[in-house]
Structure 1
């Protein structure tokens, strides 16, 4: 005898539900923030991004630290767009990217405060991935 699981109630995904609102907030921030930070790698308005690149990573990548940060900017823009278009996968991409940033910062022996902040963001990205997967299962969106 097989048991049939009942589908997740779609009422939790109603437009005004707290679950849907949490999904919308997380999806918005993990779309906008990576795109904004990625664009700033080209504009340099927020900070000198090269200061945050661990020397051992700079030694691994071809070119200068500035060129590496431009590549990072492109990756961040792509990650933000992935969250906007496919949050189930984009959120995991952002989480993995944040893990890489944390590793970079910890191995520098500096910017522990930024690494801790990015850990919080990583947890938020994982929460978005979980919500997106549940939402997709319940609604097909």
Structure 2
């Protein structure tokens, strides 16, 4: 059982470490998607810069969160879980990309699960 838990923890650790880093880097290149489309018109009107600049700031936060998962897994997993929940709630409140919001909530639960696994005796972080 402990070896299976260790395997699952490592899969989640590298998933929630590497995916935020890749997504964060993509905020600067828009290879995967045009990230600015996820900024609602109402919110875009409130920020003092272009949505693309805002998404670059988001990218830096995601890169830091991914590195945190890889280096301090428990803390990083809680950060990623909270970040994904915040993104999902923002999308739900604007009622745009609700499918993405649901996916992000599922990922937040998985990141929270990683944090809880990282608190157990068979953890190294």
The answer, yes or no, to whether TM exceeds 0.5 is yes
1:110-129 alignment to 2 at 5 Å? Answer: 110-129=96-115
1:74 aligned to 2:57? no
Tell me the C-alpha RMSD between the 2 structures: 1.5
With normalisation by structure 2, the TM-score equals: 0.92
CA distance, structure 2, for counterparts of residue 50 and residue 29 of structure 1: 24
2:41 aligned with 1:62: no
Q: Which consecutive unaligned segments of at least 5 residues does structure 1 have? A: 1-10
Alignment of 1:1-141 (within 5 A): 12=2, 17-135=3-121, 138=122, 141=125
Contact 1:27–1:84 at 8 Å: present in 2 too?
yes
C-alpha spacing 1:140/1:122, structure 2 compared with 1 (3 Å): closer
TM-score by length of 1: 0.82
Q: Which has the larger radius of gyration?
A: 1
Which residue of structure 2 lines up, in the alignment, with residue 4 of structure 1?
none
Q: Helix, strand or coil for the counterpart of 1:46?
A: coil
